[in-house]
């Protein structure tokens, strides 16, 4: 069992959990993910780690309660325990040879961008962080980013906080103003990552994206997380989760990520409306 | 007194049209009378060709004699001197190619139903046995790690604990059993049987650590640092293969591994579980092995109106066990033989709506000895389906190879290991089962696990 050590709400839907998982914490690196199962009836879902403490044997996850599993996860309190946590999975973020990087995060994606940005910053890389949100109320991790990056730029779609506009607008402005980046890292909704990649392609800047996909085992066995990179099938769990964004077939990725949306929507309504998030058959 | 009937006692089974709507076991097992009657068919040959056909050398005529005498628990005890998983082997071994394939009774009639008798003895023990754990060997204070809790790992762990080693099994999934848990469906191998075999190993002192991906959570080298003196790698051949035809990433295309894991391990067929799975009306399963049969029969049970096995050769060459094919046909699975898929078609929204196939004919035998299928020109047609399941085999998982220094691969891309001993290029690391050979059978994997246990014992005795 994997005990929840702390729980912190970052905004109305996004939560930060610290979970006891010594086996995972011992080996975790930025960019890697875990698969968790809340209880016997739960799905196995992948979540990128937001951090870890190998001495305390804990890992951090930040998730948005959007589907049935994350809504159930939201019911867990400090002291409760998850049934299964497996990892670390996936390849860690490659940082070798990098001197200056722009990290672009969108919405919940900022949570996944956080360990990458901080991991790079901690190894001495200069990190410009562009954190994009829809509106002021949902801004997360501002303090953490201020402490863990060289420069922080916050954008909001409606201009209610930071600069008005999309992350791509800010990234473009920075590049045009003469900032030179060895690499851009983009983590967020696929549509945002796609537009970041289109932009950076114009300037010839390599861009790494972190992809999420449906998966079961996380070790390459199910093949459910296949993504097309440069015309070739790759498994996000073992070949990724980070890939060269300019080689990703975005339309297919977006389509594949919609596979179970309707089923999930129905399930979620059941969880919220019927049981208030508590399993009724226990 | 020998029973001279030429045919096996038939296996009692659920009615096909009932069972294709539930996940309960298809075959319900011999009664005691049937088992005794069948056991009487054994000639008790002195040469025991059946035992020679068994990768783990089960003392077959001996246990059958016990059943004939009505000593069922004793029969089980005879089997368990060599096999740690009789309830499983009795159900899923390809007996027709092994023990039963060599049975003298098979020359003039049907061989003795060795598999069914093995299953009977194991089931009898589970229901009536004393429940006492087997005598514990004295601990020798030395530790061995086993990676993977599938048939190879379980067999290896069972033999090592019997020799007095401290055994820890690392499993990447949340449940033990490997392919027995995620791959083989409930209706062929009830999961409580797998659990009880695993519990028996736990009772004997084997420690299981689930949710541990060796190669990621820890490396093989780190296992040695943790005090293990030898490591057995039985991680199976996990990576699914696809055909590389257009449309394979459409919504509704599954690997058999994914489809079966969602159903068997993650219980997608039970409404109380959250596991999502597409509810399909018409399904095509590509491939002709046991995995293809399992996927097709699962699809039927998940409510598909029409399920097709699409196989590019004929019924003569199909690799699945006869019994599985027979069961599939009874349950209403269609066989599209001499048919090869060339593309998968999708709707505007990306959902599968058809499988474009081409008819095949058989030419000269190829390297595998089977007649090579050749496309018939202009024979393309579209099978209307909304799901396609790829059951065309698996490749070897590289996680351990890539993370273990000095561990060499073999020509198939698996872990290079000596067939007899399981020894690899790394001292103290042994490997066996599908991780070495590529996809094979449960019993061959068990045989490899047992051989490795023996050679680990010899290796550690020398290395005091």
ipTM at complex level:
0.91
Is there a single domain that holds both residue A49 and residue A15?
Answer: yes
For residue range B265-290, list pLDDT tens digits in order: 999 999 999 999 999 999 999 999 99
Q: Are residues B361 and B413 in the same domain?
A: no
Q: Show which of residues 394-413 on chain B sit within 8 Å of chain A, judged by CB atoms.
A: 397, 399
For B106, which DSSP code? G
Last residue of a domain, one of B374, B390, B406: B390
Residue B297 lies in a domain: yes
- Report yes or no: A247 at the B interface, CB cutoff 8 Å: no
Nearest to A89 among B173, B213, B251 (CB): B213
- pLDDT tens, position by position, A219-240: 999 999 999 999 999 999 999 9
Q: Are residues B259 and B380 in the same domain?
A: yes
- Asked if residue B9 is part of any domain, the answer here is no
Co-location of B320 and B427 in the same domain: no
Which of A210, A233, A256 lies at the terminal end of a domain, its last residue? A210
CATH number at residue A12: 2.40.30.10
Q: Copy the structure tokens of residue B312.
A: 């590019």
Residue indicated by tokens 């084997």: B206
Q: How far is A128 from chain B (nearest CA, A)?
A: 30
Local structure of residue A118 (DSSP, 8 states)? H
Tell which of A66, A89, A112 closes a domain: A89
Q: Does B255 lie at the interface with A, CB-CB under 8 angstroms?
A: yes
What are the tens digits of pLDDT across the range B417-429? 998 999 999 999 9
The DSSP output letter for A44 is P
Residues B27 and B102 in one domain: yes
Q: Number of A:B CB contacts under 8 A? A: 112
Is residue B160 situated within a structural domain? yes
Mutation target to probe the B interface, by most B beta carbons within 10 A, among A221, A233, A277, A280 is A221
3-state secondary structure of B382: strand
Last residue of a domain, one of B369, B390, B411: B390
CA B448 – CA B156 distance, rounded (Å): 8
Encode pLDDT of A38-48 as tens digits.
999 999 999 99
End-of-domain residue from the set B354, B374, B390: B390
CA dist., res. B430 & res. B416, Å (int):
9
Q: Do B300 and B438 share a structural domain?
A: no
State how many domains chain A has.
Answer: 3
Check if B235 contacts A (Cβ < 8 Å).
no
pLDDT of residue A281: 46
Range of the domain at B413: 143-238+396-462
**Which residues lie closer than 8 Å to B171 by C-beta, 6 or more apart?**
B148, B149, B178, B208, B209, B210, B211, B212
Cβ of residue A92 closer than 8 Å to a chain B Cβ: no
Do the Cβ atoms of B170 and B60 come closer than 8 Å? no
User: In this complex, is the C-beta atom of A191 within 8 Å of any C-beta atom belonging to chain B?
Assistant: no
- Domain with A27, as residue range(s), is 2-89
- Provide, as residue numbers in chain B, all residues whose Cβ is less than 8 Å from the Cβ of A258: 251, 350
Give me the helices (H) in B255-393, please: 256-260, 290-301, 322-330
Interval B91-100 mean pLDDT: 91
Q: What is the CATH number of the domain that holds B116?
A: 1.10.1060.10
pLDDT digits (tens, 9 = 90+) for B151-192: 999 999 999 999 999 999 999 999 999 999 999 999 999 999
Main-chain dihedrals φ then ψ at residue B289, nearest 5 degrees: -95, -175
Whether residue A109 sits in one domain with residue A185: yes
Statement to judge: residues B385 and B408 lie in one domain: no
Task: Please indicate, yes or no, whether residues A152 and A224 belong to a single structural domain of this protein.
Answer: no
Q: pLDDT, tens digit, for every residue of A13-28?
A: 999 999 999 999 999 9
Is A217 in contact with B248 (Cβ distance < 8 A)? Answer: no
Q: Give the domain CATH number at B231.
A: 3.50.50.60
Q: How far is CA B73 from CA A65, B80, B340, B460, in A?
A: 54, 11, 49, 34
Confidence grade of residue A274 (pLDDT, cut at 50, 70, 90): very low
Residue B265: both structure tokens together: 């391990």
Answer yes or no: do B355 and B256 share one domain: yes
Q: What is the rounded CA–CA span in Å between residue B164 and residue B158?
A: 10
Same domain, A98 and A84: no
**Binding site residue list of A for FAD:** 62-64
Q: Please identify, among A192, A210, A228, the residue that sits at the C-terminal boundary of a domain.
A: A210
**Alpha-carbon distance A110 to B207, whole Å?**
40
Q: Which of A49, A223, A233 to mutate to test the interface with B (most CBs of B within 10 A)?
A: A223
CA distance B178 to chain A (A): 11
Interval B293-320: pLDDT, tens:
999 999 999 999 999 999 999 999 999 9
B429 and B369 in a single domain? The answer is: no
Number of alpha carbons in the 13 Å side-chain half-sphere of residue A82: 30
Residues A232 and A277 in one domain: yes
Tens digit of each residue's pLDDT (9 = 90 or more) over A59-118: 999 999 988 889 999 999 999 999 999 999 999 999 999 999 999 999 999 998 999 999
Q: Is the pLDDT score of B132 beyond 70?
A: no
Number of domains forming the structure of chain B: 3
Q: Which of the residue ranges A258-262, A270-274, B240-244, B447-451 would you say has the lowest mean pLDDT? A: A270-274
B180 and B123 part of one domain = no
CB contacts, 8 Å: A235 with chain B: 239
The C-alpha atoms of residue A91 and residue A38 are separated, in whole angstroms, by: 24
Residue A271 has pLDDT above 70, yes or no: no
Pair A9, A45 in one domain: yes
Residue A89 touches partner B, C-beta closer than 8 Å: yes
CA A84 to mean position of chain CA atoms = 20
Going along B134-264, which residue ranges are E strands?
A: 143-147, 166-170, 207-209, 230-233, 239-240, 253-255
């Amino acid at each position: 069992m994997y005990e929840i050590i702390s729980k912190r709400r970052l905004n109305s839907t996004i939560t930060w959990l610290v979970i006891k998982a010594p086996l995972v914490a011992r080996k975790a690196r930025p960019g890697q993910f875990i698969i968790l199962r809340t209880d016997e009836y739960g799905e196995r879902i992948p979540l990128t780690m937001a951090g870890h403490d190998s001495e305390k044997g804990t890992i951090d996850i930040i998730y948005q309660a959007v589907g049935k599993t994350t809504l159930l996860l939201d019911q867990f309190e400090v002291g409760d325990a998850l049934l299964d946590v497996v990892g670390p999975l996936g390849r860690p973020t490659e940082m070798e040879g990098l001197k200056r990087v722009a990290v672009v995060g969108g919405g919940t994606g900022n949570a996944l961008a956080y360990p990458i940005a901080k991991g790079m910053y901690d190894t001495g890389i200069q990190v410009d962080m562009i954190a994009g949100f829809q509106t002021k109320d949902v801004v997360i991790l501002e303090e953490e980013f201020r402490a863990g990056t060289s420069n922080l730029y916050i954008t909001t779609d409606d201009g209610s906080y930071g600069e008005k506009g999309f992350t791509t607008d800010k990234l473009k402005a920075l590049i045009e103003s003469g900032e030179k980046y060895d690499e851009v890292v983009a983590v967020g909704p696929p549509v945002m990552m796609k537009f970041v990649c289109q932009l950076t392609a114009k300037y010839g800047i390599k861009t790494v994206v972190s992809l999420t996909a449906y998966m079961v085992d996380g070790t390459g066995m199910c093949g459910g997380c296949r993504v097309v990179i440069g015309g070739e099938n790759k498994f996000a769990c073992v070949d990724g989760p980070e890939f060269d964004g300019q080689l990703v077939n975005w339309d297919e990725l977006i389509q594949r990520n919609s596979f179970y949306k309707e089923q999930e929507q129905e399930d979620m309504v059941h969880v919220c409306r019927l049981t208030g998030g508590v399993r009724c058959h226990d | 007194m020998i029973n001279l009937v030429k045919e096996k006692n038939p296996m009692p089974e659920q009615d096909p049209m009932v069972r294709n709507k539930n996940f309960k076991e298809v075959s319900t097992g011999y009664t005691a009378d049937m088992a005794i009657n069948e056991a009487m068919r054994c000639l008790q040959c002195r040469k025991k060709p059946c035992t020679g056909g068994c990768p783990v050398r089960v003392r077959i005529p001996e246990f059958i004699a016990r059943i004939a005498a009505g000593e069922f628990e004793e029969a089980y005890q005879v089997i368990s001197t060599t096999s740690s998983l009789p309830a499983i082997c009795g159900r899923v071994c390809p007996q027709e190619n092994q023990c039963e394939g060599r049975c003298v009774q098979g020359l003039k009639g049907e061989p003795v139903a060795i598999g069914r008798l093995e299953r009977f003895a194991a089931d009898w023990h589970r229901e009536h046995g004393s429940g006492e754990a087997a005598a514990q060997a004295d601990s020798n204070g030395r530790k061995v790690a086993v990676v993977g809790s599938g048939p190879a790992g379980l067999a290896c762990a069972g033999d090592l604990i019997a020799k007095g080693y401290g055994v820890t099994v690392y499993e990447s999934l949340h449940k033990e059993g490997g392919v027995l848990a995620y791959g083989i469906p409930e209706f062929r191998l009830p999961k409580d049987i797998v659990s009880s075999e695993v519990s028996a190993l736990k009772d004997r002192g084997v420690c299981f650590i689930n949710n541990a991906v060796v190669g990621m959570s820890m490396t093989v080298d780190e296992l040695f640092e943790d005090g293990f003196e030898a490591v057995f790698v039985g991680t199976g051949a996990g990576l699914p293969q696809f055909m590389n035809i257009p449309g394979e990433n459409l919504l509704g295309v599954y690997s058999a591994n994914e489809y079966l894991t969602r159903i068997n391990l993650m219980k997608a067929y039970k409404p109380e579980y959250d596991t999502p799975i597409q509810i399909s009306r018409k399904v095509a399963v590509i491939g002709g092995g046991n995995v293809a049969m399992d996927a097709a029969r699962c699809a039927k049970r998940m409510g598909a109106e029409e399920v097709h096995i699409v196989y590019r050769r004929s019924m003569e060459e199909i690799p699945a066990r006869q019994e599985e094919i027979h069961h599939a046909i009874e349950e209403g699975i269609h066989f599209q033989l001499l048919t090869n898929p060339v593309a998968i078609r999708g709707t505007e929204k990306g959902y599968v709506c058809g499988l474009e196939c081409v008819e095949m004919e058989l030419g000269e035998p190829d390297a595998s000895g089977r007649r090579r299928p050749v496309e018939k020109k202009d024979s393309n047609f579209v099978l209307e389906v909304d799901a396609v399941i790829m059951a065309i085999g698996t490749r070897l998982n590289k996680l351990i190879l890539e993370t273990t220094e000095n561990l060499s691969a073999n020509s198939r891309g698996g872990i290079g290991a000596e067939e007899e001993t399981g020894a690899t290029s790394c001292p103290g690391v042994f490997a066996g089962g599908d991780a070495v050979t590529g996809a094979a059978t449960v019993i061959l994997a068990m045989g490899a696990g047992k051989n490795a246990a023996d050679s680990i014992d010899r290796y550690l005795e020398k290395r005091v």
